Amino acid sequence: MPDIDPNSTFRGLPLSAEQDAEVRHYIKKKKQHGEPWDTPELAAMLKDMLEPPGDDDEGLGDTADETKAAAERAGASIDEDMEPIEASEERNAAMESERMKGP
């Protein structure tokens, strides 16, 4: 990742080049439509860009573990001698069956 130059980003914030471009595009579109650009929407966008994703979603690991277990059960139903397309279809059907069973 290239070094971030705070002097060249929006308000000197530590934004990536993509994030800075997104902010500037948002401002340009607002100005083109004659609308105010310094809005709560822009503030929320910047907050999302600057704050790393948190671990607010406790229990998400449980969902991932359940999904992994379902995938393993679905994979166990596949015969190694199957054609790749047939195996993929069989795996998809088994995954759907596991989803229908629920947690």
| Judgement on whether residues 45 and 77 belong to the same structural domain of the protein | no
Q: What is the pLDDT of residue 1?
A: 43
| Judgement on whether residues 69 and 94 belong to the same structural domain of the protein | yes
Is the CA virtual torsion 79, 81, 87, 90 positive or negative? negative
The one-digit pLDDT tens for each residue of the chain (103 residues) are 445 455 557 777 788 888 888 888 999 999 999 999 888 998 888 888 888 666 555 555 566 777 777 667 666 666 666 677 777 777 777 777 777 776 5
Number of domains in the chain: 2
Distance CA 20, CA 13 (A): 9
* Planar angle of CA 88, 89, 90, nearest 5 degrees: 90
Token pair recorded at residue 18? 């993509």
pTM for the full model?
A: 0.45
**Residue in the block written with tokens 């800075």:** 20
Domain presence at residue 86: yes
Q: Residue 20 sits in which domain range?
A: 10-50
Domain presence at residue 1: no
Domain presence at residue 2: no
Domain presence at residue 76: yes
CB of 45 within 8 A of CB of 8? no
